[in-house]
């Protein structure tokens, strides 16, 4: 066989395609229509049902991250507002997503510059340096990155730091800050080559961070240090709290102990084992914060923990690959919703582990589980998902995830430690295995 495509090969391919009536039918449809609609399976479509046997209380109107990759923070803040809403009997409330992203970008800038200092002796074109330079202040994040921000900076109501154009349309802001940080990286590495010590490098870094803060202030506004919060509840009762700091607002009005939460992953890759705890090198935002920790378990254990949490009225933050087998307008994640095999006259046999190892899937999005539909045996049939893409799709912005989709494309869930076994929690507290920065489990939810 030849190493290049021969004309006789092309004639054979053409003949094979043209003689297949299924290919001709799919071609005639695809040239004029959306493949997602054309490949939709009628039996799966007719079974779409937005009712669930178990639902957490206190759910509110969905939020909208717009043209930004802040889903991980939106999901975390949406979790918080359920507890705050219950406490004060609120019909609607939003935390400031602008406030958390301001501090995330500030901390990511410091994390990046510290990483550049730490790797100053690495060759400029090494894989690690190229990785660090690739996207230092992207919008994405992970659960521990979120909790590090909350524990250091707290939270504020959206009314105290509303959305700006740049927070909702973040591409250009990110591009300019990234350009500045790459220039700073060059300067730090150059002065290190000339013999500068760590004290000089950190002094330079301080001036660099001052510039980043200035750029963020221009784009996002100035974060409040203290504020007054007042609200009227569902029963028309008025509440007012004065001279509150952001950290105090979280402690007094949300009150969750974030250190009691554990991040469980399902990563069936050949180089990883279950009942092992992992972390990712050079992945984080707050330098002095908690490192990212993942306890790798079978998918069944993630589902059992998440379902138990929901049954106890506790929502669940989770991460998945949302772009696969997902009909955005219908708000349905379902392995059977599209019959791609029939449409393309071929199969797609890769397993979840295969897809991770060969770049076909990774975690891309974080959302909130707020319900689960259990069968008579107590096993999950489907999951209710609070997304952050506005209320014009799905069931007013709430989505459905079938249980089979969970197995294939859900990668992590965050639950209270009470929902895992003592043995599992013991493993979680072990020294983690360190994975390289480019490992698929280092992907950020955007």
Among 319, 303, 301, smallest CA distance to 311 is for: 303
Query: Tens digits of per-residue pLDDT, 226-284?
Result: 999 999 999 999 999 999 999 999 999 999 999 999 999 999 999 999 999 999 999 99
Does residue 332 have a pLDDT over 90? yes
> Rounded to whole angstroms, how far apart are CA atoms 4 and 209?
53
Catalytically active residues are 71, 365, 387
CA dihedral 267, 101, 446, 73 (to 10 degrees): 60
Among 72, 53, 40, smallest CA distance to 329 is for: 40
Q: Which residues pair with 232 in a beta bridge?
A: 238
Kindly report the CATH number that applies to the domain delimited by 54-442: 3.90.70.10
Q: Which residues pair with 372 in a beta bridge?
A: 54, 383
Contact 272, 99 (CB under 8 A): no
Report the share of the chain in percent with pLDDT over 90: 99
Per-residue pLDDT band at 1 (split at 50, 70, 90): confident
Query: Tens digits of per-residue pLDDT, 130-177?
Result: 999 999 999 999 999 999 999 999 999 999 999 999 999 999 999 999
The whole-number pLDDT of residue 445 equals 95
The average confidence (pLDDT) of the chain is: 97
The whole-number pLDDT of residue 241 equals 97
Per-residue pLDDT band at 22 (split at 50, 70, 90): very high
Structural domain spans, the chain: 54-442
The whole-number pLDDT of residue 276 equals 98
> Rounded to whole angstroms, how far apart are CA atoms 249 and 157?
9
Query: Tens digits of per-residue pLDDT, 347-380?
Result: 999 999 999 999 999 999 999 999 999 999 999 9
Q: Which residues contact 8 (CB under 8 A, 6 or more apart)?
A: none
> Rounded to whole angstroms, how far apart are CA atoms 265 and 364?
14
Over residues 220-226, mean pLDDT: 98
Per-residue pLDDT band at 2 (split at 50, 70, 90): confident
The three-state secondary structure class of 395 is strand
């Amino acid at each position: 066989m030849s190493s290049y495509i021969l004309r006789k090969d092309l004639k054979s391919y053409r003949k094979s395609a043209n003689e297949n009536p299924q290919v001709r039918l799919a071609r005639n449809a695809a040239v004029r229509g959306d493949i997602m609609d054309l490949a939709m399976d009628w039996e799966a479509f007719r079974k779409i049902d937005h009712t669930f046997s178990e639902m957490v209380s206190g759910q509110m109107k969905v939020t909208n991250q717009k043209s930004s990759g802040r889903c991980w923070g939106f999901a975390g803040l949406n979790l918080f507002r359920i507890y705050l809403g219950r406490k004060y009997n609120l019909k609607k409330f939003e935390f400031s997503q602008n406030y958390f992203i301001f501090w995330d970008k500030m901390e990511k800038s410091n994390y990046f510059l510290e990483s550049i200092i730490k790797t100053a002796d690495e060759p400029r074109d090494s894989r690690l340096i190229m990785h660090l330079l690739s996207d230092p202040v992207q919008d994405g994040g992970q659960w521990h990155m979120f909790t590090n921000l909350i524990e250091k900076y707290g939270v504020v109501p959206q009314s105290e730091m509303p959305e700006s154009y740049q927070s909702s349309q973040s591409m250009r802001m990110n591009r300019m800050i990234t350009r500045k940080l790459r220039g700073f990286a060059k300067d730090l590495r150059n002065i290190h080559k000339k013999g500068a010590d760590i004290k000089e490098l950190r002094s330079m870094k301080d001036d660099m961070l001052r510039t980043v803060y200035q750029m963020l202030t221009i784009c996002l506004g100035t974060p409040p240090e203290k504020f007054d919060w007042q609200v009227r509840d569902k029963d028309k009762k008025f509440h007012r709290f004065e001279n509150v700091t952001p950290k105090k607002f979280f402690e007094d009005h949300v009150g969750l102990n974030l250190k009691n939460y554990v991040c469980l992953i399902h990563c069936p890759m050949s180089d990883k084992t279950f009942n092992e705890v992992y972390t990712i090198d050079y992945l984080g935002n707050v330098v002095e914060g908690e490192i990212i920790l993942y306890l790798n378990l079978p998918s069944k254990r993630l589902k059992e923990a998440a379902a138990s949490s929901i049954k106890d009225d506790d929502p669940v933050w989770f991460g998945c690959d949302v772009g696969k087998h997902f009909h955005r307008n219908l708000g349905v994640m379902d392995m059977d919703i599209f019959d791609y095999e029939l449409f393309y006259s071929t199969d797609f046999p890769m397993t979840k582990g295969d897809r991770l190892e060969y770049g076909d899937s990774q975690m891309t999005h974080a959302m909130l589980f707020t319900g689960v539909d259990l069968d008579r045996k107590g096993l999950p049939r489907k999951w209710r998902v609070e997304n952050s893409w506005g209320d014009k799709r799905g069931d007013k912005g709430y989505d459905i995830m079938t249980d089979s989709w969970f197995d294939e494309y859900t990668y992590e869930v965050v639950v209270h430690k009470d929902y895992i076994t003592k043995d599992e929690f013991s493993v979680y507290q072990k020294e983690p295995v360190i994975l390289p920065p480019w490992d698929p489990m280092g992907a950020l939810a955007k």
